[in-house]
């Protein structure tokens, strides 16, 4: 209806123009009436201008509408009036309706993008996407932490920082998985997929730290091994101990009651007695030794609660301070950052710190200045507690085995303390690591995410 009205108005104006021209020609050629001809010429010009404005107004509105769509300017509105007829009123209403629909669609798209961005930032998996030129399009905070960098604009930044990791990610085939060891706290599982966006191939890489799962598997393996060892050794040593005790008792009874029937000399008797006593003593010692290790495979589940790290460290300091003063060792606490909290079993973690501080106390030999520091700080999403000493250190060959059960570098050590401490930390969703420079310092780290 609007279009027909527009056609009618346009045809009417063209008709008036033609009529004016006809009258002007008639009055000029037939009657030579110059004043009337001039007047008609003025009317013709006015009608031509009015026709131009009539048509051009529609073009301007259409151009403005298209520009608004092209540049996403959905604030523009078109006045709804019928000054130029119902056609333009309907046209303005249509323009406003279309721009409103575009505006609603854009708002909805932006809300979806914000929602998607929020989801990407809060998932536990690191996500990185980059095109074939290496330009990074998406990178969440978890990915930045796992890669040990800030949010990147180009994969070349990772190439400069960690060439091997860059090569692994860049060359990883789509649909396959790769494992990459970053440090003692981060072992990455890397997966990749690929899609096309704006004519370019885009690679989406998912990064996940599986260190906790690896620690759990390692712990499970050790526990299974220890259960088998305990079962087998106990089954072997218990009857030996019982038989040797019985044999010793029978021998004593025979010697006293049937002395005339024995052909043993006193020296042989003493040797038998000594040997049997040694076997019995050793058997009982081994049984007691193995029972002591039962704690390693039957630890109680952590009773988790929110714990102040500053208060936890202060408790350990107060407990150990007197012993350290008597030995001339300084014990200091450093809180590098504002106090933070952990969701752990307070007694278990406190016991771990006590074990580590006691080990540090025994690490000194002839040093003039003896110092132990308990330090806490936060690094990225990790919360760290360190126990550092400037003792004689640990040789490199021992570092790889120091957390293995029964391994010890001390002549009177059981080899269970550090492995037990590591298990306790892992049960509290953390990790225990060590680094050492022989003759300079040793640092034990409790790392919690």
**Do 324 and 372 touch, CB atoms closer than 8 A?**
yes
pLDDT at 306 (0 to 100): 92
What does the block give as tokens for 304? 């988790």
Q: What is the largest CA-CA distance in the chain?
A: 178
**Do 443 and 402 touch, CB atoms closer than 8 A?**
no
pLDDT at 5 over 70: no
Backbone angles phi, psi at 314, to 5 degrees: -65, -35
Q: Return all residues near 443 (Cβ < 8 A) that are at least 6 apart.
A: 386, 387, 388, 434, 435, 436
pLDDT interval class at 446 (50, 70, 90): very high
Q: Running DSSP on this structure, what letter comes out for residue 150?
A: P
pLDDT at 31 (0 to 100): 57
Across 5-9, 96-100, 437-441, the highest mean pLDDT is recorded for 437-441
pLDDT at 39 (0 to 100): 67
Q: Which fold does the domain 123-209 belong to in CATH?
A: Beta-Lactamase (3.30.450)
Q: CA-to-CA distance for 210 and 186, rounded, in angstroms?
A: 7
From 71-85, 179-193, 233-247, 336-350, the region with the lowest mean pLDDT: 71-85
169-198: b (≥16 Cβ within 10 Å) or e: beebeeeeeeebebeebbbbbbbbeeeeee
pLDDT interval class at 201 (50, 70, 90): confident
Angle between helices 417-427 and 211-257 (to 10 degrees): 140
pLDDT at 384 (0 to 100): 93
* 305-448 CATH pick, 3.40.50.150, 3.40.50.2300, 2.30.30.830, 3.30.565.10: 3.30.565.10
Q: Return all residues near 382 (Cβ < 8 A) that are at least 6 apart.
A: 185, 447, 448, 449
pLDDT at 1 (0 to 100): 41
pLDDT at 2 (0 to 100): 41
| Residue corresponding to tokens 């505006």 | 103
Q: Can you list the positions of beta strands (E) in 56-173? A: 126-131, 136-139
Across 20-34, 39-53, 80-94, the highest mean pLDDT is recorded for 39-53
The stretch 50-58 carries a mean pLDDT of 66
What's CA 408's distance to the chain center, in Å?
34
As to burial, measured by CB atoms within 10 angstroms (0-12 exposed, 13-18 middle, 19+ buried), residue 368 is exposed
Three-state SS for 73?
Answer: coil
Q: CA-to-CA distance for 283 and 289, rounded, in angstroms?
A: 10
Closest by alpha carbon to 406, among 277, 323, 292, 280?
Answer: 292
pLDDT at 209 (0 to 100): 86
pLDDT at 150 (0 to 100): 80
pLDDT at 385 over 90: yes
What's CA 14's distance to the chain center, in Å?
74
**Do 445 and 384 touch, CB atoms closer than 8 A?**
yes
From 64-73, 164-173, 438-447, the region with the lowest mean pLDDT: 64-73
pLDDT at 358 over 70: yes
pLDDT at 68 (0 to 100): 66
What's CA 29's distance to the chain center, in Å?
94
Three-state SS for 353?
Answer: helix
pLDDT in tens, 238-287: 666 666 666 566 566 555 545 555 555 566 566 667 667 666 766 666 66
- Percent residues over pLDDT 70 in the chain: 59
What does the block give as tokens for 311? 């208060």
On average, the pLDDT of the chain sits at 75
Three-state SS for 326?
Answer: helix
pLDDT at 158 (0 to 100): 87
The stretch 74-93 carries a mean pLDDT of 59
Closest by alpha carbon to 372, among 304, 320, 424?
Answer: 320
pLDDT interval class at 368 (50, 70, 90): confident
pLDDT interval class at 353 (50, 70, 90): very high
Q: CA-to-CA distance for 380 and 241, rounded, in angstroms?
A: 56
What does the block give as tokens for 105? 């669609």
pLDDT at 387 over 90: yes
pLDDT at 139 over 80: yes
pLDDT at 257 (0 to 100): 46
- Percent residues over pLDDT 90 in the chain: 10
| Its pTM surpasses 0.75 | no
From 82-91, 118-127, 343-352, the region with the lowest mean pLDDT: 82-91
Q: CA-to-CA distance for 355 and 349, rounded, in angstroms?
A: 10
- Cα 276 to Cα 2, 14, 77, 189, 284: the distances in Å are 119, 133, 107, 57, 12
Q: CA-to-CA distance for 172 and 179, rounded, in angstroms?
A: 11
* Helical (H) or strand (E) element with 371: strand 371-379
pLDDT interval class at 3 (50, 70, 90): very low
Q: Can you list the positions of beta strands (E) in 246-286? A: none
């Amino acid at each position: 209806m609007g279009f027909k009205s527009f056609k009618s108005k346009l045809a009417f104006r063209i008709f008036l123009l033609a009529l004016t021209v006809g009258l002007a020609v008639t009055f000029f050629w037939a009657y030579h009436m110059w004043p009337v001809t001039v007047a008609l010429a003025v009317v013709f010009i006015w009608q031509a201008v009015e026709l131009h404005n009539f048509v051009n107004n529609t073009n301007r509105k259409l151009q403005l509408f298209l520009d608004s769509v092209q540049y996403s300017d959905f604030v523009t509105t078109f006045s709804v009036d019928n000054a130029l007829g119902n056609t333009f009123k309907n046209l303005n209403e249509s323009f406003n309706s279309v721009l409103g629909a575009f505006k609603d669609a854009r708002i909805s798209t932006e809300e979806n993008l914000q929602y998607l961005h929020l989801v990407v930032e809060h998932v536990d998996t690191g996500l990185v996407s980059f095109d074939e030129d290496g330009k990074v399009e998406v990178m969440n905070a978890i990915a930045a932490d796992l890669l040990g960098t800030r949010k990147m604009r180009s994969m070349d930044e990772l190439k400069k920082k960690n060439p091997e990791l860059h090569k692994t990610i860049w060359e990883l085939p789509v649909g396959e998985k790769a494992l990459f060891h970053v440090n003692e706290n981060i072992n990455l599982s890397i997966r990749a997929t690929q899609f096309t966006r704006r004519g370019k191939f885009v690679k989406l890489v998912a990064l996940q730290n599986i260190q906790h799962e690896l620690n759990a598997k390692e712990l499970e393996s050790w526990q299974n091994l220890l259960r088998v060892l305990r079962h087998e050794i106990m089954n072997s040593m218990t009857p030996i101990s019982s038989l040797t005790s019985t044999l010793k008792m029978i021998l004593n009874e025979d010697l006293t009651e049937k002395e005339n029937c024995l052909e043993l000399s006193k020296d042989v008797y003493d040797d038998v007695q000594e040997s049997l006593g040694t076997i019995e003593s050793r058997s009982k010692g081994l049984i007691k030794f193995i029972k002591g290790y039962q704690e390693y495979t039957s630890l109680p589940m952590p009773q988790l609660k929110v714990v102040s790290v500053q208060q936890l460290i202060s408790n350990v300091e107060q407990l150990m301070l007197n012993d350290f003063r008597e030995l001339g060792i300084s014990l200091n606490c450093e809180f590098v950052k504002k106090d933070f909290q952990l969701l752990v079993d307070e007694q278990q973690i406190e016991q771990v710190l006590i074990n580590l501080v006691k080990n540090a106390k025994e690490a000194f030999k002839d040093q003039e200045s003896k110092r132990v520091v308990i330090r806490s700080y936060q690094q990225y999403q990790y919360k760290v507690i360190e126990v550092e000493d400037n003792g004689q250190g640990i040789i490199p060959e021992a570092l790889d085995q120091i957390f293995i059960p029964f391994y010890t570098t001390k002549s009177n050590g059981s080899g269970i303390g550090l492995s037990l401490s590591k298990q306790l930390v892992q049960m509290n969703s953390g990790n225990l690591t060590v680094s050492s420079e022989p003759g300079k310092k040793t640092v034990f780290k409790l790392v919690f995410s």
